[in-house]
Structure 1
Amino acid sequence: MSLLQGSCHCGAVRLTLPSAPEKATKCNCSICRRLGGLWAYYEFGTVQIEGHPENTSSYVWGDKTLRTVRCSTCGCATHWEPLAPGAGAKHGVNLNNFEPRLQEGVQVRRFDGADTWTFTD
Structure 2
Amino acid sequence: MTITAHEQPAKGYLWGDREAEFMHCPICGCITHYETTERCDSQFVAVNMSMADIEVIEELQIKLLDKADRKR
TM-score bracket relative to the smaller structure: 0.5 to 0.7
**1:105 and 1:64 mapped to 2: Cα distance?**
32
Structure 1: runs of 5+ lacking an equivalent: 1-46, 110-118
**Is the Cα–Cα contact under 8 Å of residues 60 and 68 in structure 1 kept in the other structure?**
yes
What is the CA RMSD across the aligned residues, in angstroms? Answer: 3.1
Structure number with greater Rg is: 2
TM-score by length of 2: 0.59
Structure 1 stretches of at least 4 aligned residues deviating more than 4 Å after TM superposition = 104-107
Structural mapping, 1:56-71, within 5 Å: 56-71=10-25
TM-score by length of 1: 0.39
**1:85 and 1:96 mapped to 2: Cα distance?**
27
**Is the Cα–Cα contact under 8 Å of residues 33 and 48 in structure 2 kept in the other structure?**
yes
Match of 2:9 in 1: 55
Higher RCO structure (Cα 8 Å, ≥6 apart): 1
Match of 1:94 in 2: 48
Structure 2: runs of 5+ lacking an equivalent: none
Which of the two has greater strand per residue? 1
Aligned length: 61
Q: 1:62 to 1:98 in 2, by over 3 A?
A: same
